[in-house]
């Protein structure tokens, strides 16, 4: 597969849509161009297609763009996804009570992950991952879970675009992801941030379709090797519990 596929117009269109925080925001084409790092002429061509499909609309007075009516139609189709998130959230809260450490639920887009739900420890010293803010996938436990489920072509694309930050050879990186897929979990032992450990496991829909990743994160001051191993066992157990309940709901629809 040609790695250039991942630089396609489709991905650039998603970058443009990601510029909008909500359906009330209007952005001018020059600002969009600056945000996505593309020439105005290229942005204009992509926006024309998005507008034609109803994904963006233009304010005829200000000439700025906003999310279109078709995005609302898509959002209405996501009710079941929100139900899945609600199911996972109750287990995230329970796991936080048991471990007394931060527990995160995350999704992935390309080479970035986003935490969509977090239960925080009562300790003052704790990780700080703002919700809905992107973080690099290659050095986070949840990110490695998602990357391990991607095709090798996609994994190579991630490596090529983050090689300096990854700090290992491509083969070492691919081997790390193959191991995470085989083991059913991924670890981040101070790869994302010095003094921070994380272990993550996948949450599946039916048919082995990856939906979320679940993680426990804690500073090394509280997560020694024994605590790290216990966190690994717990995150695997709870990821399986969440997957089972989500799949039982999925199959009823």
DSSP for the chain, please give it: --GGGGGSHHHHHHHHHTT-SSTT--B-HHHHHHHHT--HHHHHHHHHHHHHTTSEEE-TTT--EEE-HHHHHHHHTTHHHHHHHHHHHHHHHHHHHHH-SEEEEEEEETTEEEEEEEE--SSSS-----TT-EEESTTSHHHHHHHHTS-HHHHHHHHHHHHHHH-S-HHHHHHHHHHHHHHT-EEEESSSSTTEEEEEEEEE-GGG-EEEEEEEEEETTT--HHHHHHHHHHHHHHHHHHHHHHHHHHTT-
Q: Can you give the pLDDT at residue 68? A: 83
Label residue 198 by pLDDT band (50, 70, 90): very high
Q: Can you give the pLDDT at residue 7? A: 53
Question: Mean pLDDT, to the nearest integer, of 127-148?
Answer: 93
Digit-coded pLDDT (tens) for 219-243: 999 999 999 999 999 999 999 999 9
């Amino acid at each position: 597969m040609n790695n250039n596929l991942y630089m396609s117009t489709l991905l650039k269109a998603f970058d443009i849509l990601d510029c909008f925080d909500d359906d009330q925001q209007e952005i001018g084409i020059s600002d969009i161009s600056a945000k996505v790092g593309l020439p105005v002429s290229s942005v204009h061509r992509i926006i024309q297609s998005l507008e034609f499909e109803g994904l963006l609309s233009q304010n005829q007075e200000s000439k700025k763009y906003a999310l279109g009516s078709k995005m609302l139609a898509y959002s209405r189709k996501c009710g079941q996804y929100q139900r899945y998130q609600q199911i996972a959230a109750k287990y995230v809260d329970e796991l936080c009570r048991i471990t007394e450490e931060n527990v995160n639920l995350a999704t992935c887009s390309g080479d970035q992950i986003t935490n969509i739900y977090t239960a925080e420890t009562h300790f003052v010293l704790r990780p700080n991952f703002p919700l809905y803010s992107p973080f690099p996938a290659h050095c986070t436990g949840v990110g490695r879970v998602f990357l391990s489920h991607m095709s090798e072509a996609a994994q190579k694309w991630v490596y090529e675009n983050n090689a300096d930050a990854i700090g290992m050879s491509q083969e070492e990186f691919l081997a790390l992801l193959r191991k995470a897929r085989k083991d059913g979990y991924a670890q981040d032992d101070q790869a994302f941030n010095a003094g921070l450990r994380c272990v993550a496991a996948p949450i599946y829909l039916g048919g082995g379709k990856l939906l979320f990743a679940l993680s426990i994160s804690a500073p090394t001051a509280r997560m020694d090797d024994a605590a790290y191993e216990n966190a690994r066992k717990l995150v695997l157990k709870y990821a399986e519990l969440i997957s089972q309940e989500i799949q039982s709901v999925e199959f009823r629809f």
